[in-house]
Amino acid sequence: MIRAVPKPLEEIIQYVNDYDKLLIAGCDGCVTVCEAGGLKEVKILGSALRLHFAQANKPVVIDETSLTRQCDKEYLAQLRDSIDNYDAVVSLACGCGIQFLADMYDTKLVFPGVNTSFMGVTEERGVYSERCQGCGTCILAETGGVCPIARCSKRMLNGPCGGSDKGKCEVSPEMPCGWQLIYERLKTLGQLDRFEKPVDPKDWTSSRDGGIRKIVREDLRI
């Protein structure tokens, strides 16, 4: 899932300080799971902003809502009747949701309330780590289910490099070396022979090197 962290409160205050009617819109999808942008966080931000404006003695309307998803038009459309009541919207969705909201209501000011970080997993509550960079051509079948694109700092296809030391990456002593993980996994699977054949250069056009990406599934289109 997409992982995000709440933006610093002072940054959000800076965005909204000049407006009188605000809507804080959360998203019940990924950002709820990582506790950055669901209804609970919407209420906390709303309360914090009300305290900020009240002690500044400025009357500001702050309403709160959370949509099932902000990356689907059907749910964004639920704001159609109410969005004109507000000067600006603080969206706590990921970067995708924030942009889609701004797309649909193109005359409305939309501010981000979270910093969208990566696609990752929950190692434990409050600890999230990256697992996928969405490169568009999955090679997990070749690497024992451990992705060298997301989990090797250099995105090497034929690792490890000389910076691997006792299973850790030279970038940080806490960071596991992705290729060490691949080695150990392949060893467990009895597939170490895969190390004997170099992986061919990757076609990066399915990743960001090919420009902005779009999927069109004719089989699904209505």
Partner 1 sequence: MQYPPDVRIIQVPCTGKVDIIHLLQAFEAGADGVFVAGCLEGDCHFMEGNLFAKKRVRRVKEILDKVGLTGGRIEMFNLSAGMGGRFAEIVKEMDERVRALGPSPIRASKGAAPRPTREVTA
Piece of the chain touching partner 1 by CB under 8 A; list 60-68, 105-113, 201-209, 214-222: 60-68
Q: Is 82 in the site for partner 1 (CB under 8 A)?
A: yes
Whether 136 and 128 have beta carbons less than 8 Å apart is answered as no
Q: Could you say which of 3, 31, 34, 66 contacts partner 1 (CB under 8 A)?
A: 66
Report the alpha-carbon angle 94-12-65, nearest 5: 55
**Least spacing, CB of residue 23 vs partner 1, in Å:** 7
What is residue 44's DSSP assignment?
H
Piece of the chain touching partner 1 by CB under 8 A; list 73-81, 136-144, 146-154, 204-212: 73-81
Take residue 27 and report the two structure tokens written for it.
């998203």
Number of residues that bind partner 1 (CB under 8 A): 33
First to last CA, the chain: 26
Provide CB contacts within 8 A for 125, sequence distance 6+: none
Take residue 22 and report the two structure tokens written for it.
């605000």
Alpha carbon 18 to chain centroid distance?
28
Q: Is 67 in the site for partner 1 (CB under 8 A)?
A: yes
Q: Is 63 in the site for partner 1 (CB under 8 A)?
A: yes
Whether 68 and 75 have beta carbons less than 8 Å apart is answered as yes
Q: Is 10 in the site for partner 1 (CB under 8 A)?
A: yes
Take residue 200 and report the two structure tokens written for it.
């061919």
Map the footprint of partner 1 across residues 17-56, applying CB under 8 A. Answer: 23, 40, 43-44, 46-56
Piece of the chain touching partner 1 by CB under 8 A; list 77-85, 106-114, 180-188, 199-207: 77-85
**Least spacing, CB of residue 79 vs partner 1, in Å:** 8
Q: Is 77 in the site for partner 1 (CB under 8 A)?
A: no
Take residue 50 and report the two structure tokens written for it.
């009300």
CA distance linking residue 125 with residue 188, whole number of Å = 28
**Least spacing, CB of residue 28 vs partner 1, in Å:** 8
Q: Is 104 in the site for partner 1 (CB under 8 A)?
A: no
Q: Is 13 in the site for partner 1 (CB under 8 A)?
A: yes
Q: Is 87 in the site for partner 1 (CB under 8 A)?
A: no
Whether 25 and 112 have beta carbons less than 8 Å apart is answered as no
Per-state percent for the chain, helix, strand, coil, to nearest 5: 35, 20, 45
Q: Is 57 in the site for partner 1 (CB under 8 A)?
A: yes
Q: Is 73 in the site for partner 1 (CB under 8 A)?
A: no
Binding site for partner 1 (CB under 8 A): 8-10, 13, 23, 40, 43-44, 46-57, 59, 61-68, 75, 78-79, 82
